[in-house]
Amino acid sequence: MRMWDRIQEKLQILSDAAKYDVSCSSSGSKRSNDSKGLGHTTGAGICHSYTEDGRCVSLLKILLTNYCIYDCAYCVSRRSNDVKRVGFTVNEAVELTINFYRRNYIEGLFLSSGIFKNSDYTMERLVRVAKTLRTEHRFNGYIHLKTIPGCSEDLVKQAALYADRLSVNIELPSESSLKALAPEKNKTDIIRPMSYLSNGIEAYADEKKIIKSTPAFAPAGQSTQMVVGASPENDLQVMTIADALYKKYKLRRVYYSGYVPVSNDSRLPQLGTPVPMIRENRLYQADWLMRFYKFSLREIVDPKHPQLDLDIDPKLSWALRNLHQFPIDINRADYEMILRVPGIGVQSALRIVQARKHSKLDWDQLKQIGIAVSRAKHFIVCNSKERPRDISETVLRQQILQQSKYAATLTSQLSIF
Amino acid sequence: MDAYLVRKENHQPELTAAHLEIIPDQKKAERVWNGLKQKLSVTKRNEVYKCFLSELPEMEGILLMFVRHVFDSKHSVEKDYSNKSVLAVEQIAHKVYREKHRMEAFVRFQRTADDLYVSSIEPDFNVLPLIISHFQERYADQHWLIYDNRRNYGIHYNKDTFTVQEVRMEWEAEAHHEFLPASMCHEEEVVYQSLWKNYFQTINIQARNNRKLHIRHVPTRYWKYLTEKRSL
């Protein structure tokens, strides 16, 4: 096979295998190009393109190899799966990255791998790719490295000195599911590097405040991923883990990946089972509420409501369960309370608080600011004679649902009290 | 007196309105800008500039309203979103900012046989001035050129002098397409375009196909300059 055909084949196999790790972020790190090397990172990241499933493409996302000694049931590269096994050399991965980068196709590299020989051997090669990019090519673009579960602390430390972001996947929302579906993985192997990195990131960040020349140590922090829909846990269990990880290890992001069936293994949903995309969407919305809207976990899901509504978003769901707190006066209420109004996002809430210093706001001005008036009007009063009618939760829910973008797919799920 | 400002080519003469042609005057402009410096933050002044680059037909009118409102007010009116012109300036500036961000994302370089990385774009707004610093820092060690085919001018970076210059090109017929012909490109260029296109198609998860969402993020008017959308 000619050289380029070989590369083409490897790229196809190894990017196809990597795509289920959904992290696409190229944000969180500010590397400048002082010495006229190649590249820099922007704090906010850039999505260079979007695939036809609507997901962003910002990094070259590949496995270094899809050889794997583990046999995780949900993974397309599991040992027992009959697929062609290939691997990039360190140089091939580096050259691809550099050439894509120079053409502005990507912000950088996302490098994962199947476990070849053992964790340390694999991790050492991942680190080598990152080190070569940084030191030999003076590459200042974004690098996201996976942490191989069970690898040594020394390798994790080296990885953090070259990469912007590191991640190790929780994989499943409970230890029992992990045991059942990924018997070679265990919770300790996953949590230990996460904990080590969390401490290291904090320590280096503290030192950098005093000594400016302290090297960067995973400046874009850590993230992780859970597959949802492959195992029976409910949303309360999923969000409890996410909440704990954010609080304990200060992760930047938790990703929730709707399970895409890859086999007819009896432990998992069969091929052809639809991907739980709406559930995944609601989980991300719940995640946003915790991180940006100052909601606590128990306000969103609790033992009485362990599963997020599919037909309405979690913020609206909370508002309907707490109608006694509405309507609020948009010209007087706290910022925190304005954030809780369905139809008002963080940007609009900030604008409202700024604008009302100059004049009392009415419906026209609120509309101009950009809130979803058709939704928010049930929950607020403003500088206008109109007041929302007193209506019950049921009626309100039906009214809003009729306008829902999911209305077509959810007719069977409207609850009737 | 109620004045309205429009660009000459957008002017529709009215029966009841008198019109006056304004000749640009550097000294007067500086006076106004210095006055604005006293009353507006850097952020807001940048927004005014972005608004200007939008080249929208209503842009001059909005900026006039805005500047008069700023000078008429004793206190800062930057966050007075209840005022139409304040809101408009911010919203237009935001649109321009988004287009700048889009161009930073959608520029696709082709490596020529002479090791110049060339890209053509057709942005909605005149964002070339806004993207210079990004590309200058990022691609400090390669010669590059980004050309606005709609406005017929471009920016060229020389890696030996570390400088960016404005250029106007007379394109040879065969070169003035969205993509350069293979004959003008580096021998590896075709391969990398093909690898990228292949990669782009492979990483799509068919079970999650969502064309509406895809087009919302990558509107079709940008497709002709995107390597991954090329029929290779």
Q: Are residues B93 and B189 in the same domain?
A: no
Q: Looking at residues A303-315, what average pLDDT do you find?
A: 94
Domain with B66 in it: 8-101
Model confidence pLDDT, tens digit, residues B32-45: 999 999 999 999 99
Q: Looking at residues B81-91, what average pLDDT do you find?
A: 88
Domain for residue B115, yes or no? Answer: yes
What is the domain partition of chain A in residue ranges?
3-269, 314-413
Among the ranges given (A108-112, A363-367, A403-407), the one the predictor scored with the smallest mean pLDDT? A403-407
Q: What is the pLDDT at residue A316?
A: 94
Q: Are residues B66 and B130 in the same domain?
A: no
Q: What is the pLDDT at residue B116?
A: 96
Distance between CA A97 and CA A90 in Å, rounded?
A: 11
Give ∠ CA A365-A371-A373 in degrees, rounded to 5. Answer: 85
Residues of B in contact with A57 (CB under 8 A): 200, 203
Q: Are residues B177 and B63 in the same domain?
A: no
Domain for residue B3, yes or no? Answer: no
Distance between CA A360 and CA A381 in Å, rounded?
A: 11
Q: Looking at residues B93-97, what average pLDDT do you find?
A: 96
Q: Are residues B149 and B89 in the same domain?
A: no
Q: Is B165 helix (H, G, I), strand (E, B) or coil?
A: strand
What kind of fold does domain A3-269 have according to CATH?
TIM Barrel (3.20.20)
Q: Are residues B126 and B87 in the same domain?
A: no
Q: Are residues B76 and B127 in the same domain?
A: no
For residue A335, pLDDT beyond 60: yes
Q: Are residues B123 and B189 in the same domain?
A: yes
Q: What is the pLDDT at residue A46?
A: 92
Higher pLDDT, B20 or A173: A173
Q: Are residues B93 and B162 in the same domain?
A: no
Among the ranges given (A231-245, A325-339, B160-174), the one the predictor scored with the smallest mean pLDDT? B160-174
Q: What is the pLDDT at residue A364?
A: 87
Q: Are residues B87 and B137 in the same domain?
A: no
Provide the edge-to-edge strand list for the sheet that holds A253-258: A59-63, A108-112, A142-146, A165-167, A222-228, A253-258
- List, in sequence order, every beta strand (DSSP E) within chain B: 110-111, 116-121, 143-148, 153-158, 163-167
Last residue of a domain, one of B53, B83, B101: B101
Q: Looking at residues A113-140, what average pLDDT do you find?
A: 96
Q: What is the pLDDT at residue B140?
A: 95
Give the B window 193-222 contacts with A, CB below 8 Å: 194-196, 198-200, 202-214, 216-218
Distance between CA B109 and CA B192 in Å, rounded?
A: 11
The mean pLDDT of chain B is 91
Q: Are residues B69 and B117 in the same domain?
A: no
Q: What is the CA radius of gyration of chain A?
A: 24
Higher pLDDT, A404 or A150: A150
Does residue B227 belong to the interface with chain A, where contact is any CB pair within 8 Å? yes
Q: What is the pLDDT at residue A396?
A: 80
For residue A391, pLDDT beyond 80: no
Confidence band of B174 (pLDDT split at 50, 70, 90) = low
CB atoms within 10 A of CB B215: 14
Distance between CA A142 and CA B140 in Å, rounded?
A: 16
Q: Are A167 and A142 in contact (CB under 8 A)?
A: no
Q: Looking at residues A338-359, what average pLDDT do you find?
A: 92
Give the B window 132-171 contacts with A, CB below 8 Å: 134, 137-142, 162
Domain for residue B200, yes or no? Answer: yes
Q: What is the pLDDT at residue A412?
A: 39
Q: Looking at residues B81-93, what average pLDDT do you find?
A: 89
The reply to whether residue B213 touches residue A48, judged by beta carbons under 8 angstroms, is no
Residues of A in contact with B203 (CB under 8 A): 15-16, 18-19, 51, 57, 61
Distance between CA A28 and CA A26 in Å, rounded?
A: 7
Higher pLDDT, A303 or A414: A303
Provide the H-helix boundaries in A42-170: 90-102, 119-131, 153-162
Last residue of a domain, one of B82, B101, B120: B101
Q: Looking at residues B60-65, what average pLDDT do you find?
A: 92
ipTM of the complex: 0.90
Q: Are residues B126 and B54 in the same domain?
A: no
Domain for residue B147, yes or no? Answer: yes
Model confidence pLDDT, tens digit, residues B207-229: 889 999 999 999 999 999 999 99
Q: How many domains does chain B have?
A: 2
Nearest 10 degrees: Cα torsion A403, A405, A411, A413: -100
The mean pLDDT of chain A is 91
Q: What is the pLDDT at residue A413?
A: 38
Confidence band of A318 (pLDDT split at 50, 70, 90) = very high
The reply to whether residue A56 touches residue B217, judged by beta carbons under 8 angstroms, is yes
Does residue B187 belong to the interface with chain A, where contact is any CB pair within 8 Å? no
